[in-house]
Structure 1
Amino acid sequence: MSTLARGVSPLSIFRSRPPLRTRVAAASLAAAAVLSGCSVGGDKKAAPLPTSVCGGLPTDQVTDLLPQGTLTVREDQRPEPRYPALHCEVSSGDTSFVASVQPLNMSGSDLVQLAGATTSAAAPLLARDSSLNGMVGPDDAWVTRECKLSIGGELKPVGMLVRARVLDGAPSDHREELADLVARLATKVNASAKCGLPAPSDPEPVLPAPARLPVTDANVCWYVDPNLLGPAAQGDQRARWSSSVTPNYAFGPAVNPGGYVQTCDLFYDNRPVLSFTAVGGYLAPTTEVPGERGRLTQRVTSPAPDDEAAAQADAAVGAVVAAVNGRRADDPATPDTDESCLTAYRMSRGQAAPEEVLGVPVEPLFRAFVAGAQAPVGDREINCPVAPDASWQFG
C-alpha cells in the first residue's frame, strides 16, 4: 500500500487493495427492498424538530448548515436490519441538507456521477483504520464502507455509499461539518442496519481547499502542455487561465484509499471550464462516459428528482467529453470485473464554458493527460495500463 503525499500525480495513488465487494444477488436485494418498509410517503414534518434527524444526526448540527427560516424534514427511506438504505432531506427555503445511504450496486446515478461531482476543492476523507474511505468538498461528503447483508441464507459484506450534501445554498465551505456528519451517518447506519461490523473510527482531519495557481508555460494538470489549449491560452490570454488540483493526504501509517478521485480543474476568467480526472478502484467501473449525462439524474431532492432538479444537478457538474479505462489483464483468480484492477480517466467541460473555451481541442488534451499518467515515474507502479486496443470515447 502507498502513502498519499502532497504533489503526487494521479496514478501514484492507485495500488492494489482488497476490493470493496459490490456484487449482490438481485433476488436478495429485491427481497430486502420489499421487507424494508422504509417509505414514510415523503411527508414533510415542519418545525419544531426532534433532537435528531436523518437516522440519528444531531438536529442542531444539520440546521447550522441551513439559512434561518421554516425548517422541514422529509424522510423517504430508513435503514432496516440487513438493509442499509436511507434518504432524508432537511430544508429551509431553497437550501437543503440531504443524507443518503445505499448499497453500491443500488446507488444508481449517485455513484456514476460521483467522479464528475468531485472537484479539485475536494480532499480525501479517510479513517486511519481504513473503516472509512471517501472524499469531502465544500458542499458534498461521501464515504464507503461495508455492511453484511443476507444473501442466499449467508451474511456477506457488501459495499455501501454514504453521502451528506448541502444543495442550492450560497457558496460556502462546510467540509469540516460535512465530514463529521457523514462519519456519524455511517456509524448510525452501521448500528441500525445491524451491519455486523465494528463501528467506523473517526475521520482524519480534513485538508483545506487547494490554492488556485496561474497557468504559465509549465505543464498544467500534471502532464498537459498549456499550448495544447490552443489560441484561448496564447499570448495575453494565458493570464486568463488558472488551475487547481485535488490535495493529497499524508499521515501516519500508509493507507490505500482504493476509491480515491484525483481531479485537476482549469479556470478561465475564474469560471471552471475544463477538468481532468483519474478514478481508481471500485469507483472506476461505474464512472460516467460522454453522452451519458443526458440520461442520468442525481438524487437531489428525492430518490426520483423532477426535471428541474435534474437540470440543476447537470448544470452544476458539467458534462464528460472524453473517457478511457485502464485495467489489468484478466486474472483467473479474480475473474469478475469488480475484483480486477481498474482505472478510469475522464475529461469534463463546464456547462457554462465561454465560446473561446468551446474551441479548445478535446482529443489532444485528453490523450496528453492519459499518456502522462501512464508514463513510469521513479518506482511508481502502473497497475491498470490503458491497453493499445482500449476504447477511447469523445463527445
Structure 2
Amino acid sequence: MRFSGLNSRSKSINRRTILKGLAALGAAGGDLATFAEALAQSSSEEVSQLTVLIQGGPVADTINNVALPIFKSQYPGVGIQLEVSANAAAYPKMLAQRNNPVISGGMFNDLFSARGSIDKMWAPINTDFMPNAKRVPKDLLLPGGEGVTFQQTPFGIMYNPDRVAPPTSWTDLWNPKYEGRVAMWDAYFDAYAMAAVASGKSASVEEGIKAWEPYRKNIGVWSTSPIAEEDLVHRGEVWLAPHWGAWCEQARLQGKRVAFAFPREGATLWSNQLQSCAGFSPKVTELVQRYLNVWLSDECQAAWLKNALISPAIGSLAIPPELQTNAAVISAADAGKRLIRLDARQVATKFAATKALIERTLKS
C-alpha cells in the first residue's frame, strides 16, 4: 500500500521501499519492526492505493466491472490493487506480515474470519464508513466475530444428473451402489456435521465423522479443489460430492454436467465476510471500509446473483422469479432461518484435531 502526505517529497514513496532502504543502511531488525508499526499508524492526509484480497473468477469480474467504477467515482485519487489468492495461501503470509501489513482488507470465508478474530487481525467495522452493513440481517452475520457477511450460499450435494437420480438426503451418499463414487473433503467439515444431523444427532462434526466410518468405501476421491471436484463429477469419475451451491451452478453454466441438491435434512450456510485489517492508519481504515461498503451495494449484490448465482447478503434484495426455484439460491432473509451454521471459532480452534480424526477414521 502506498502512503502519501508524509511530507511534500514523499507522495510516491512505498512503505516497503522505505523499510528496504533502512535495511540497506544497516538498521536492526527491532528498529525496522518499530518503524514499520509507526509508519502503518501514521496519519496520512492522502492515501493513493489500497491493497485488497479477493477471490478470482466471476467474483473478481463483479469487483472489477461494478464495484471499482462506483468507488472511483467517489474517490478518483485512490487506486485499488487487487490481490487474487485463496484464503489458505494468503492468510499465513498476512499473519507473518502483521507488523508491516500490506493487505488492508478484503474477503475471508467463515473459517479464516474466525482465525483472524482469534489472532486479532481485524479492525472493527465502523458503520459510518460501511452503512450498507446495516442492511445485512443479524442472523446472517458470523456469531462472535468481526466483519460483515456479504456473500452466502447453501452447502449441499453436487451430483452428475447422467449418473444418479437427484439425491434427497445426506444418507444417499452412503448407498452401497455408490462405492468409490463419492468425493469428500478432509479440510472442509460441513458435510460431516450434516451426516450427524441425518443420523438424528446435533450438527457435530465429530459425530458425523464417526457416522461416515461404516461407509468409508464410498469415498473414491479426497477433494482439494472445488474446480477439480466439479470436473471429476462432470466427467463421471465420481458421481456425488458435498459442494457449494453457487460454485456448482457456476460450473453448470459453463456447460459441465453437474446439478445441485438441497437435502431434506437441510444444508449448511457458507458465507464470505468483509474484513478490514488492523495495523493501518485511521485514513486507510476508513477508505478500505468505504470501498468494501460498495460490495454490499444493490448493484454488486445483484451482479453476483445474476452472473455467479451467489446469493445476496442484503435483506432488501429480492430473488428474481426465474431463480426462485433454483436449489442453490436463497434469500438473505431465508438463509439465516433455513441453513445450519457451524461454529466457525470452534472449527478454527479444533481444525488440526478434526483433520487428524478424519485421517484416523476414514483415510487410514
**TM over 0.5: same fold?**
no
- Give the number of the structure whose residues are more often strand, by fraction: 1
Q: Based on CA coordinates, which of the two structures has the bigger radius of gyration?
A: 2
What TM-score results when the alignment is normalised by the length of structure 1? 0.25
Q: Taking structure 2 as the reference length, what is the TM-score of the superposition? A: 0.26
Q: Which has the higher contact order (CA 8 A, sep 6+)?
A: 2
